[in-house]
Amino acid sequence: MGEKLQDMNEKPSLTEIEEAFGRAFLRLKVKPGEELDKFLKSPMERLVSPELILKKMGEEHANEATAKKLLKKYDGRVDISKVDLFGSTGILESFSTSEKQEMLGKVITDLEDKVTQRLRAIDEALERNPNDPWYRRYGKPGVQEDEIETRLKHLAAAAKEGIILPNYEEHLTKIRSTISNVFNVNGSATRYIRWAKEELERVGMQIEKVAGRTEGITGRGLEFSKSKYGNARRVYLDGELIGSFADVQFGKNSTNGEVVTWMVSEVIDQDRITGTQNRDTVYVWKKGWKEPRAIFEDHAWSTERYMRVLPPKITPDGKVKITRISGEKEKEEIIDPSTKEFLSGAGE
């Protein structure tokens, strides 16, 4: 906070200009082969991060020999987790399956170790200064979002190529533990945490498919399967996977066989004076849709009014019936999921 703000009219430094020129030169001029060899021997190479060089060579489909030469050259200097490893633009594109699996295991384990070290450092800092005013006001610091997303990204990209780790369940469980350590002061990260749980479950299902695991569902009607990783529920209609959802509530008559509806209720803020702010979001999915849609949202502070939304219902003709209770008053709304228009109570 005490750092001097940079003047908006201040000219970029010579180093910044050189680095920008180096990145542009790499992007426009350097290809695998003789051009890359010349670039690596030139002063220009020092202006560009190893991560960018590896990324560029992945995009250029560098062969196995070139990729291995770069990985050896930058060993200990590059954060390989920041580089695309798999897919058509991954630096490991030409590697064997066993080599890709080995690299995946190394990257995931290294990322796990970094999270463990970070959380240990936080605990040690709090032990040294338990009365730290920041901690007393905001609570215990937590992990960063990229410490979750990077692992999920690499595991998902590898699974698309049919590559999984033998102990994948252990690694997915560790991600679940990391999610529980996200900094969530006053509910500020509630929506992100729910997304992370659902993304963890999605990646888990992708890996399980490669591993040949089956769900054990009947394929008839609305069915649920509990997650082992992200505390989410996998939802199926007639055997078709709708998705995996966290903090979800299903009520009676939540489907008519074609349309399914449910609600997510979450705490999004907390305040000593106004109390807790809840958000209720109603989702709907219809056969033929690629993903669910949010069709209703409401939220309120607990001290402003006593308000809650009941789990929605599906009418026989496929419309969504939503009941809101505010104090002693009850209000009902019906929404057509095809048009997303209020059919009753609109605008009130």
Is the domain of 334 the same as that of 259? yes
Q: What angle do CA 213, 284, 241 make, to 5 degrees?
A: 15
Of 3-12, 84-93, 264-273, give the range with the top mean pLDDT: 84-93
Is the domain of 139 the same as that of 181? yes
Coil, helix or strand at residue 250: coil
Span 309-323, mean pLDDT? Answer: 92
What was the pLDDT predicted at 206?
93
Closest CA to 257 of 229, 285, 279: 285
Of 22-26, 161-165, 299-303, give the range with the top mean pLDDT: 161-165
How sure is the predictor about 304, in pLDDT bands with cuts at 50, 70 and 90? low
Span 208-222, mean pLDDT? Answer: 87
Residue 31: give the domain boundaries.
10-95
Is the domain of 256 the same as that of 209? no
Is the domain of 91 the same as that of 104? no
Span 274-297, mean pLDDT? Answer: 86
Span 154-174, mean pLDDT? Answer: 96
Is the domain of 111 the same as that of 139? yes
Span 130-142, mean pLDDT? Answer: 79
Is the domain of 112 the same as that of 204? yes
Would residue 262 count as lying in a domain? yes
Q: Please tell me the least confidently modeled range out of 33-42, 79-88, 123-132.
A: 123-132
pLDDT digits (tens, 9 = 90+) for 24-55: 989 889 999 999 999 999 998 999 999 999 99
pTM summary value: 0.77
What was the pLDDT predicted at 3?
41
How sure is the predictor about 278, in pLDDT bands with cuts at 50, 70 and 90? confident
Is the domain of 54 the same as that of 84? yes
Would residue 219 count as lying in a domain? no
Would residue 272 count as lying in a domain? yes
Name the DSSP letter for residue 311: P
How sure is the predictor about 302, in pLDDT bands with cuts at 50, 70 and 90? low
Coil, helix or strand at residue 236: strand
Span 307-314, mean pLDDT? Answer: 86
Residue 115, token pair as written in the block: 């999270």
Of 3-12, 118-127, 148-157, give the range with the top mean pLDDT: 148-157
What was the pLDDT predicted at 21?
86
Would residue 187 count as lying in a domain? yes
Would residue 346 count as lying in a domain? yes
Would residue 235 count as lying in a domain? no
Is the domain of 101 the same as that of 202? yes
- Alpha-helical runs (H) found in the chain: 14-29, 34-41, 50-59, 64-73, 97-128, 133-138, 146-160, 168-179, 190-211
pLDDT digits (tens, 9 = 90+) for 285-295: 999 998 999 99
Is the domain of 75 the same as that of 123? no
What was the pLDDT predicted at 329?
79
Of 47, 68, 95, the residue at which a domain comes to its end is 95
Coil, helix or strand at residue 240: strand
What was the pLDDT predicted at 347?
36
Kindly list the distances between the CA atom of residue 119 and the CA atoms of 116, 136, 141, 318, 330, in Å, as whole numbers in the listed order: 5, 18, 9, 48, 46
Is the domain of 101 the same as that of 157? yes
- The answer, yes or no, to whether residue 343 has pLDDT greater than 60, is no
Question: Which position has the higher pLDDT, 34 or 308?
Answer: 34
pLDDT digits (tens, 9 = 90+) for 7-21: 445 555 547 888 888
Structural domain total, the chain: 3
Is the domain of 110 the same as that of 83? no
Of 214, 239, 273, the residue at which a domain comes to its end is 214
One-letter-per-residue 3-state SS of 261-288: EEEEEEEEEEECCCEEEEEEEEEEEECC
Hey, what's the torsion of the CAs at 164, 167, 169, 171, to 10 degrees?
A: -90
What was the pLDDT predicted at 346?
38
The number of residues making up the chain comes to 348
What was the pLDDT predicted at 13?
56
Of 190, 214, 238, the residue at which a domain comes to its end is 214
Would residue 231 count as lying in a domain? no
Give me the chain's average pLDDT, please: 86
- The answer, yes or no, to whether residue 141 has pLDDT greater than 80, is yes
Is the domain of 273 the same as that of 330? yes
Residue 227, token pair as written in the block: 């997650």
What was the pLDDT predicted at 216?
77
Of 96-100, 120-124, 176-180, 231-235, give the range with the top mean pLDDT: 96-100
Would residue 5 count as lying in a domain? no
Contacts of 94 (CB under 8 A, 6+ apart): 61, 62, 63, 64, 67
Span 78-99, mean pLDDT? Answer: 95
